[in-house]
Amino acid sequence: MDRAPLSFPENFIWGTAVCSHQAEGHNVHSDWWEFEHRGKIRDGSVSGPASDMLNRYPEDFALMEKYGYNGFRLSVEWARIEPEQGRFDEDALRHYESVLKELRKRNIKVCLTLYHWVLPKWVADAGGWTAPGCVRWFKNYVRCVVRRLYPLVDLWCTLNEPTAPLFAGFVMGAFPPEKRSWPLACKVYGNLLRAHVAAHSEITLQARAEGDPRQPLIGIAHAICFVEPRNPHNPVDRKIHEFFDFMHNRAFVESMQTGKIPFPFGIGETIHGLAGSYSFMGVNYYYRMTLRVPAKIPPNDLPDFLFTEGREVTGMGYESYPPGFYQVFKYMSGFGVPMYVTENGCADAEQDDVMRRRYLVRHIAQMHRAMKDGMDIRGYFQWSYIDNFEWLYGFEKKLGLFALEPGTLNRIPRPSATMYGLIARQGVTPEIVREYAPDTEEEIWGA
């Protein structure tokens, strides 16, 4: 059988991704910093210097260039830029300007996220995304960032996985602010949509002020999993999964399409400027989910929703299911704009990272299948470039192409770092697969 390489367009973005709170470290004016120091992290750690990208970013970007990655997704930290209400820190703005200029110098495309789950402490203390002024405050912050950084950004992510802080922070009580209130969750849902509209407006206005003839690429990084009933012949099982699919996967992006807040988050209210407020869709995909709903959600913890017996799971406990990636692309292509994979990756603590190599090759093959079938996918940002602070799990989970040497924080490439760079240059070839993920060859090219 012909085993031709899986090739990709010449201008395809092959990037990696981080969240700045998780990788830069020392985000001392944030709600998460305070949360960590109250002993809320499972391994007892705090983010501290994290991966020290705050200081070592030139070294990191040189590694990206060396290994052949031509894109990087990162966030700017609101708490660093506006540590006190109305005081925008010039040193922080200068830092991010230097970071983006360094990426530009190395011809690495920039995907910049404006909100990645972390708030300034002063915003959190006022009520966070439930505060009456939260959207206005976010708009002021975004205006400051956009005016300073607009020429250095290729793609703008207004929000990262907005349903995650909503459910984890206001339903399960696991993330800051540790609330369990559906009315508050609904308020957060609406305000995050309004925050997206505000950011979209500021970016668009700045594009006009810059005389940029192009439409800015603006979207969100949307967490979406492939939801499948354990027993598809059971109508109750099907309905439970359809409801979860709507709540987790479809509600927020469909609100962005229609401009309305759907039940049960609202009663169909219209948000001015929301409908069609995107020019790309970001896809964060990690796993297939089959629900095992507990009788009672334990306090201050995430419920055990995954049914994984007998299935391959990553170090996060997520089921690895590459065909679900294809199905997610089919759904997201219905929004009629280009797609970028803003996150996809695998927790694997082993230095030889056999699981990560297999995971990446299989998922990239499914992305190629989707593109071959006419779906408009223009870039892939692997999560993550480097091991970092993984929220409630602290430093226990290892998702990086590069490991951190204990004590020194020196960057240690895993085999996947080299493999991913080869794929970025050559596509998925039989030679690469035989060397790095030989047990996937039959799956990719057929028996």
CA torsion, ordered 176, 178, 181, 185, to nearest 10 deg: 10
Contact assessment for residue 30 and residue 79, using Cβ atoms and an 8 Å cutoff? yes
CA distance 30 to 19: 14
Q: Which of 121, 116, 113 is nearest to 149 (CA)?
A: 113
Q: Where are the alpha helices (DSSP H) in 333-414?
A: 354-372
Q: Which residues on neighbouring strands pair with residue 383, listed in sequence order?
A: 17
Which contiguous run of DSSP H or E holds residue 415? helix 415-426
CA distance 157 to 142: 11
Count the helix, strand and coil residues of the chain and give each as a percent rounded to the nearest 5: 45, 15, 40
8-state DSSP, 215: P
Q: Which residues on neighbouring strands pair with residue 291, listed in sequence order?
A: 306
The reported pLDDT for the residue numbered 302 is 47
The superfamily (CATH) of domain 14-223+249-416 is: Glycosidases (3.20.20.80)
CA distance 426 to 420: 10
CA distance 274 to 276: 6
Distance, C-alpha 166 to centroid of its chain: 15
The reported pLDDT for the residue numbered 310 is 65
Residue 40, CA distances (Å) to 35, 46, 348, 392, 394 in order: 6, 9, 23, 7, 10
Give a three-class secondary structure readout of 72-100. Answer: EEEECCHHHHCCECCECCHHHHHHHHHHH
Q: Which of 420, 436, 427, 432 is nearest to 15 (CA)?
A: 420
CA distance 320 to 366: 13
CA distance 30 to 28: 6
Q: Which of 386, 388, 405, 384 is nearest to 396 (CA)?
A: 388
Q: Which two tokens stand for residue 147?
A: 């005016």
DSSP three-state, residue 113: strand
Check residue 75 and give left, alpha or beta (phi > 0: left; psi -120 to 50: alpha). beta
Q: How many CA atoms lie within 13 A of 287 on its CB side?
A: 19
CA distance 4 to 216: 36
Q: What is the pLDDT along the chain (447 residues), one digit of tens a residue?
A: 578 999 999 999 999 999 999 999 999 999 999 999 999 999 999 999 999 999 999 999 999 999 999 999 999 999 999 999 999 999 999 999 999 999 999 999 999 999 999 999 999 999 999 999 999 999 999 999 999 999 999 999 999 999 999 999 999 999 999 999 999 999 999 999 999 999 999 999 999 999 999 899 999 999 999 998 888 888 888 898 999 999 999 999 999 999 999 999 999 999 999 999 999 999 999 999 887 655 455 554 444 455 556 678 999 989 999 999 999 999 999 999 999 999 999 999 999 999 999 999 999 999 999 999 999 999 999 999 999 999 999 999 999 999 999 999 999 999 999 999 999 999 999 999 999 999 999 999 974
CA distance 385 to 100: 16
Q: Where are the alpha helices (DSSP H) in 210-297?
A: 235-244, 251-258
The residue extents of the domains of the chain are: 14-223+249-416
8-state DSSP, 297: P
CB within 8 A of 393, min separation 6: which ones?
Answer: 41, 42, 43, 316
Contact assessment for residue 357 and residue 416, using Cβ atoms and an 8 Å cutoff? yes
Neighbours of 234 (CB within 10 A): 12
